[in-house]
């Protein structure tokens, strides 16, 4: 899929991995609609990026708000929405059972609602919009990229909700790709490891250094731009379909 001139949607695009992806797509010539819950940060980023960027305040658990963001992205160019990248997600640390009580059901439901159902919500609506596109010379109508995590495979103590939600993202990647194959729409997932995002920025410096040292090579936290570069490569490489790609420096997380 050609990025230059394409209409793109980046859900969760106001910060972290999503912001880096929005910047990378824009730098390669795309028209980018940033969808995010943080209206102030998202609008400021769109203003900074210029006339080929827009913003839509979006709660991924609300079908009407995601549908509006998809429609706005599709209207950016005559060719419609061609690229959709979903980066929105949350996580809480909570154990399954402790002497003081069981894992709260409401926190598990919240993580699954945002990370899994929110991903599905954006994927279903973005791919539906892509059906209206004219296929390019290779027969493609669009590319969808969703964000899993290595926690789907190596979930740590306290990550049961997060790991379950990301495991669901992993599991739906291949059937989604198969569902959309005859329409010329590809679906892939990226499973990042430890990345230097606002979530990890809140940790003390010593904790961040310990996390970085646990990565075999390179022994540092991943850079959001590296996630963005992979997303752009997936868009450009039409043979990548139905894949979940670990981006983790060969890290396999210990139990804690």
How would you classify the pairing of strands 97-98 and 101-102? Answer: antiparallel
Quote the tokens at residue 126: 């973005």
Q: Which residues contact 141 (CB under 8 A, 6 or more apart)?
A: 82, 130, 131, 133, 134, 135, 183, 184, 185
Which residues on adjacent β-strands are paired with residue 143? 83, 186
- Is 162 a catalytic site residue? yes
Containing 208, the helix (H) or strand (E) segment is: helix 205-213
Alpha-carbon span 195 to 211, nearest angstrom:
10
| Residue 4 CA to its chain's centroid (Å) | 21
Alpha-carbon span 159 to 147, nearest angstrom:
16
Q: How many residues does the chain have?
A: 256
Packed helices 16-27 and 224-236: angle between N→C axes, nearest 10 degrees: 50
Contact call for residues 5 and 77 (beta carbons, < 8 A): yes
| Residue 256 CA to its chain's centroid (Å) | 25
Contact call for residues 238 and 186 (beta carbons, < 8 A): yes
Which of 12, 31, 34, 162 is catalytic? The answer is 162
Active-site positions? 162
């Amino acid at each position: 899929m050609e990025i230059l001139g394409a209409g793109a949607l980046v859900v969760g695009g106001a910060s972290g991995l999503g912001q880096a992806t929005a910047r990378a797509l824009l730098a390669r010539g795309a028209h980018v609609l940033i969808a995010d819950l943080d209206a102030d940060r998202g609008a400021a980023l769109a203003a900074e990026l210029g006339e080929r960027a827009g913003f839509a305040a979006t709660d991924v658990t609300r079908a009407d708000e995601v549908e509006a963001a998809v429609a706005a992205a599709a209207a950016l160019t005559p060719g419609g929405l061609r690229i959709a990248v979903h980066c929105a997600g949350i996580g809480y640390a909570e154990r399954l059972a402790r002497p003081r009580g069981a894992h709260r059901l409401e926190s598990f439901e919240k993580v699954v609602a945002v990370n899994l159902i929110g991903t599905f919500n954006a994927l279903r609506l973005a791919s539906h919009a892509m059906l209206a596109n004219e296929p390019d010379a290779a027969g493609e109508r669009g590319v969808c990229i969703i964000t899993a995590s290595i926690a789907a495979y190596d979930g740590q103590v306290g990550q049961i909700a997060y790991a379950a939600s990301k495991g669901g993202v992993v599991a739906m990647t291949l059937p989604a790709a198969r569902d959309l194959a005859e329409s010329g729409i590809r679906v892939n997932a990226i499973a990042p490891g430890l990345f230097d995002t606002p979530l990890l920025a809140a940790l003390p410096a010593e904790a961040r250094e310990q996390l970085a040292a646990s990565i075999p090579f390179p022994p540092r936290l991943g850079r959001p731009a590296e996630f963005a570069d992979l997303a752009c490569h997936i868009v450009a490489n039409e043979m990548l379909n139905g894949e979940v790609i670990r981006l983790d420096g060969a890290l396999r997380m210990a139990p804690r």
